[in-house]
């Protein structure tokens, strides 16, 4: 029990987002840049944390199948983003994922696991695409991808840990639903912002040509 508590504390410290919540260009090697991207993007962090929390509410095999599905499709979306495949309204899609996942946690209703997996698969594509198109030009794609995949998985693990801890008592279950409500409100704010102030979608080629990243092409 103490070991589990220490692990959750360590993960909380490791994954705690800083004051820089926006999607920003993070300097460092490929793995570090990729690892930091989901953690320092508040919308990414909330969605991935929510996937872990929701999987606990669903219970059973959903605890691992739902997060694993999200991770798989984050990778697929990331590859598409790196290759410059355009997506429609990526920011709105990411915001919608936070809103819908928050509402699902708030409702605390049993939904079919396959339905949940299909939903997080779509969400994962949007989040992964954002990671891919914001890849710094000086990093190796494989290293960068391994970083954001691991970062995503660890945030899921944190969500699962917090969810398991919360469901041990009635008050904890209620607090989980309250957290879902707060996440949904933030998601609604993200969505309104994405609609009112849409960001121009950048291709991977444009990212790599950005002088901020030294105009250096990653080794293939």
For residue range 180-193, what is the model confidence (pLDDT) as tens digits?
999 999 999 999 99
Distance CA 121, CA 21 (A): 23
Q: Domain residues for 186?
A: 34-211
Question: Looking at the 3D structure of the chain, how many domains does it have?
Answer: 1
- 185 token code pair: 């409100």
Handedness of CA 143, 149, 155, 161 (dihedral sign): negative
Residue 106 lies in a domain: yes
Alpha helices in 83-112 (DSSP H): 90-107
Distance CA 104, CA 189 (A): 17
Lowest-confidence pick of 48-52, 88-92, 122-126, 216-220: 216-220
pLDDT at 190 (0 to 100): 94
Identify the CA nearest to 127 among candidates 100, 90, 82, 86.
90
Residue 49 lies in a domain: yes
Are residues 105 and 186 in contact, defined by beta-carbon separation less than 8 angstroms?
Answer: no
Lowest-confidence pick of 87-96, 101-110, 132-141, 197-206: 197-206
- 134 token code pair: 């914001």
Distance CA 133, CA 49 (A): 22
pLDDT per residue as tens digits for the range 73-101 = 999 999 999 988 888 789 999 999 999 99
Residue 19 lies in a domain: no
Average pLDDT, the chain: 81
Q: What is the arithmetic mean of pLDDT over 14-38?
A: 59
Are residues 116 and 62 in contact, defined by beta-carbon separation less than 8 angstroms?
Answer: yes
Residue 24 lies in a domain: no
**Confidence band of 3 (pLDDT split at 50, 70, 90):** very low
Distance CA 43, CA 61 (A): 26
Residue 62 lies in a domain: yes
Residue 65 lies in a domain: yes
Q: What is the arithmetic mean of pLDDT over 111-115?
A: 91
pTM of the model: 0.78
The answer on pLDDT for 127 being more than 60 is: yes
Question: Any idea what DSSP says for residue 18?
Answer: -
Residue 21 lies in a domain: no
The answer on pLDDT for 14 being more than 50 is: no
Residue 9 lies in a domain: no
């Amino acid at each position: 029990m103490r070991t589990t508590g220490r692990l959750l504390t360590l993960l909380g410290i490791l994954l705690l987002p800083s004051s820089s919540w926006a999607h920003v260009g993070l300097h460092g090697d490929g793995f570090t840049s990729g690892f930091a991207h989901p953690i320092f993007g508040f919308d990414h962090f909330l969605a991935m944390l929510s996937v872990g929390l929701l999987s606990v509410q669903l219970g059973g095999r959903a605890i691992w199948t739902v997060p694993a599905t999200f991770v798989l499709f984050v990778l697929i979306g990331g590859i598409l983003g790196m290759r410059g495949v355009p997506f429609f309204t990526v920011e709105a899609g990411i915001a919608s994922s936070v809103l819908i996942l928050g509402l699902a946690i708030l409702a605390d209703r049993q939904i079919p696991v396959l339905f949940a997996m299909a939903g997080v698969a779509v969400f994962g594509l949007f989040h992964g695409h954002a990671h891919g198109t914001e890849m710094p030009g000086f990093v190796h794609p494989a290293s960068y991808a391994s970083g954001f995949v691991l970062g995503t998985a660890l945030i899921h693990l944190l969500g699962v840990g917090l969810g398991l801890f919360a469901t041990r008592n009635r008050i904890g279950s209620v607090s989980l639903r309250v957290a879902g409500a707060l996440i949904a409100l933030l998601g609604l704010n993200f969505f309104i912002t994405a609609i009112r102030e849409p960001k121009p979608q950048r291709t991977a080629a444009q990212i790599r040509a950005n002088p901020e990243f030294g105009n250096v092409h990653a080794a293939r």
